Amino acid sequence: MKGTETETIGADELGPLNAAHASPVARMFASPNSAVGKVATYQEARAAALGLADPTAQTAALDAAVDELEAGFGLTLTTAQIDELNAILDSR
């Protein structure tokens, strides 16, 4: 990420990703620049990626979704944080 400062939140924290706990309706109507909106955008990109049949394209699209999420929040996320975020989104 050229010219963009990022920070790292603790591996056991979700920080602003806790916005994933918002209801599906809240995510649907959230401002795209809000934490809830950024999580909703990630959720949509992830769903589209998971719908791809080509495993290579799917992996690339999932990586791009995570990259966009990290850029949106200015964070570097661990695999555990992404897994936890995905689990929250999948359970709602």
pLDDT value at residue 1: 39
- Note the pLDDT tens digit of each residue in 37-80: 999 999 999 999 999 999 999 999 999 999 999 999 999 999 99
* Segments making up each domain of the chain, as ranges: 32-92
Instruction: State yes or no: pLDDT of 10 exceeds 90.
Output: no
Under 8 Å between Cβ of 73 and 16: yes
Exposed/middle/buried for residue 43 (C-beta within 10 Å: 0-12, 13-18, 19+): buried
Q: How confident is the model at residue 14 (pLDDT cuts 50, 70, 90)?
A: confident
